[in-house]
Structure 1
Amino acid sequence: MLRPEDQFHVGIVAEDFEATLRQVSSLFGFEWSEAMGGSVEVELPTGATVIDFSCVYSKSSPRLEIVRRVPGTFWEPTPGSGIHHFGYWSDDVAADTAELESHGYVIEAIRKGPDGTPFFAFLRSTTGFRVELVTRSAQPSLERSWAHQAEPATGHMPVSSEE
């Protein structure tokens, strides 16, 4: 099962991406790593689709992920709190997904890696609490990206630990 020490970020979906970055930086002192994103194939409950995804992680902890809004998907700003999800490292995304499903969580999206196993998965509880499971094999790649200085919104979404 998931452990507190595997929780590595809090995700916020922003209506105005650039304004959110500026505000969180100026008010709370966060600095940002290089932006990631691009066309990402995901499996939604309605079927496979490609979305234009863009996000940036804070360089320091507690780690924040600011996600650019994706209209017509669950990647929309959350009314009220603004918190969209809690991200966890997972040694086995498929098994952890199945475990959460057995406790009533519903899959909202899965991205498969080059080997066909889940790279990340988003699940929502019946109470609205959303979790993102990210394969631990992505940890070295993401940690390298967090160490780099922010660039203009360029870059790409890592799809495997080889990137």
Structure 2
Amino acid sequence: MKAEDLFHMGIVSDDPSATREQLTALLGYEWGPAIGGPTAVTLPSGEVTLEFGCSYSVSVPRLEVVAAIPGTLWEPVAGSGIHHLGYWSDDIGADTAELVRGGYVVEATRSAGGLPFFAFLRGDNGIRMELVTRAAEPMMQPCWAAQS
């Protein structure tokens, strides 16, 4: 992982629409389409299917506004508001192992087609990282395309 692999900062909100509207009004952010749906993830307690919803900014630095999912790690963060830093990963397994060696704990993972798709890890410093396979970049690019 490298600093230049950072591709978004995630914000979890109880009211994603209001959050986007405020960021647009205050900072001029523009937004791509809302995406989401039922998503199977593996938590420390086992596999569950959660209803995800999010949208990415077209504007950079890129933000992701995620709809809160009560009772999960996807709840709003008191204080900073930044929920996670999202990084592209060429090898999620190796990058996860490196973060674990550095004191991070795996909070959630998702596989697609038998391959790791994303992993969420949290450090004892409070920083949460999301590793996303770089192979997903082409299919995710429409998420931050301007809507007509």
Partner of 1:70: 69
Q: How does 1:23-34 map to 2 (within 5 A)?
A: 23-34=22-33
Amino acid at match of 1:69: A
1:138 correspondence with 2:136: yes
* Superposition deviation, residue 148 in structure 1: 4.0
Matched residue SS, 2:94:
helix
Identity %: 55
TM-score (norm: length of structure 1)? 0.88
The offset of 1:117, in angstroms, is 1.8
Q: Which runs of 5+ in 1 are unaligned?
A: 151-163
Matched ranges for 1:12-161 at <5 A: 12-114=11-113, 116-149=114-147
CA contact (8 A) 2:10 2:66 kept: yes
Q: Give the CA deviation at 1:44.
A: 0.3
1:94/1:117 contact within 8 Å kept: no
On the 8 A contact 1:93/1:121 being kept in 2, the answer is yes
Cα deviation for residue 143 of structure 1 reads 1.5
The total of aligned residue pairs comes to 148
2:65 maps to amino acid: I
Runs of 4+ in 1 over 4 A off after TM superposition: none
Q: TM-score by structure 2 length?
A: 0.97
Q: CA separation in 1, counterparts of 2:36 and 2:143?
A: 13
CA RMSD of superposed structures (Å): 1.0
Q: Which runs of 5+ in 2 are unaligned?
A: none
